[in-house]
Amino acid sequence: MAILSMDDPWVFISGILGNIIAFMVFLAPVPTFYTIVKRKSSQGYESIPYLVALFSCMLWIYYALVKTNSMPIITINSVGCVLEITYIAIYIAYAPASARMTTLKILGFFNLGGFSLIAGFSYFFTKGPNRVQLLGWIGLCFGVGVFVAPLSIMRTVIRTKSVEFMPFPLSFFLTLNAVAWFFYGFLKNDFYVYLPNTLGFAFGIVQMILYVFYKYCIKVPEEEKQHNVGPNIVLEMSSADSPRIEGTNEKFAIHQINQSDTQRVASYKFG
């Protein structure tokens, strides 16, 4: 297997660009996990996105090994596996017991069990091109599912008229990533790579349009944003007063909005 072939320079360039951009996307959760380690708490974050990303990396590595001559896919997904395993390990270390057990169960049944089932079936019941087609279709369907997932985020943006939950840099780099891998798959005539990335590019463009529209074209009063996102719990603490909590809810995330020597106010948002 050639590590990197210069037979087609455009394939080579698109593969390199795809690796660079995808690496930046894989690094996007680093600030989140830095905060988790610093606060020694998972802070209500979920592990499912990282388990899904790990499964995707495992699947595409297997596909690329079977197809051969797809080293750019192998390299970036190998890096992705290492990073996702690191994220999951940190999450397990600092998550509550119930979340830790849920993560371990999904990791066992979905990542290990599911992947082993796919690998075993494809190895024993398919050969040559048929094996490539089977893995390609599984990867394609899974990729489409991953790219469709942001629909829920876009719905939240439209409902709340707020882009708080859809950061522009991530949408931008995901779109660039889809473009790079679309061209790689197209130039390699790999239907299973370029088709899901076509969808990824389309959804990425829609996300960026929504971001610009609701960030700069629509002005929403702050109280309406808070009403759309969900109720707030306000915790006031001072040197003279004991803590006072207004409102209730089971899940919460902490956002510090003001701090002085004598008073600290924290807003807990739900949604």
Per-residue pLDDT of the chain (271 residues; tens, 9 = 90+): 444 555 678 888 899 999 999 999 999 889 889 999 999 998 888 888 899 889 999 999 999 999 988 899 999 999 999 999 999 999 999 999 999 999 999 999 999 999 999 999 999 999 989 999 999 999 998 888 777 777 777 888 888 888 876 778 878 888 999 999 999 999 999 999 999 999 889 988 998 999 889 888 776 555 555 555 544 444 444 444 444 444 444 444 444 433 333 333 333 333 3
Indicate whether 82 and 13 sit together in one domain: yes
DSSP structure string for 20-40 = HHHHHHHTTTHHHHHHHHHHT
Query: What sign for the dihedral angle of Cα 28, 29, 30, 35?
Result: positive
Report yes or no: 210 and 156 within 8 Å, Cβ to Cβ.
no
> Would 1 be classed as within a structural domain?
no
Position 61 scores a pLDDT of 96
Position 168 scores a pLDDT of 82
> Would 4 be classed as within a structural domain?
no
Question: What is the residue range of 135's domain?
Answer: 9-217
Indicate whether 191 and 246 sit together in one domain: no
Q: What is the CATH number of the domain that holds 208?
A: 1.20.1280.290
Position 184 scores a pLDDT of 93
Indicate whether 145 and 265 sit together in one domain: no
Indicate whether 177 and 236 sit together in one domain: no
Position 217 scores a pLDDT of 79
Indicate whether 70 and 174 sit together in one domain: yes
Alpha helices (H) in 188-255, listed in sequence order: 191-212, 222-229
> Would 225 be classed as within a structural domain?
no
> Would 223 be classed as within a structural domain?
no
CB atoms within 10 A of CB 163: 21
Q: What CA dihedral angle connects 250, 253, 257 and 262, to 10 degrees?
A: 70
CB atoms within 10 A of CB 219: 8
Indicate whether 114 and 242 sit together in one domain: no
Indicate whether 157 and 239 sit together in one domain: no
> Would 226 be classed as within a structural domain?
no
For 35-60, give one letter per residue: b (16+ CB within 10 A) or e: ebeeeeebeebebeebbbbbbbbbbb
CB atoms within 10 A of CB 92: 16
Q: Which amino acid is at 30?
A: V
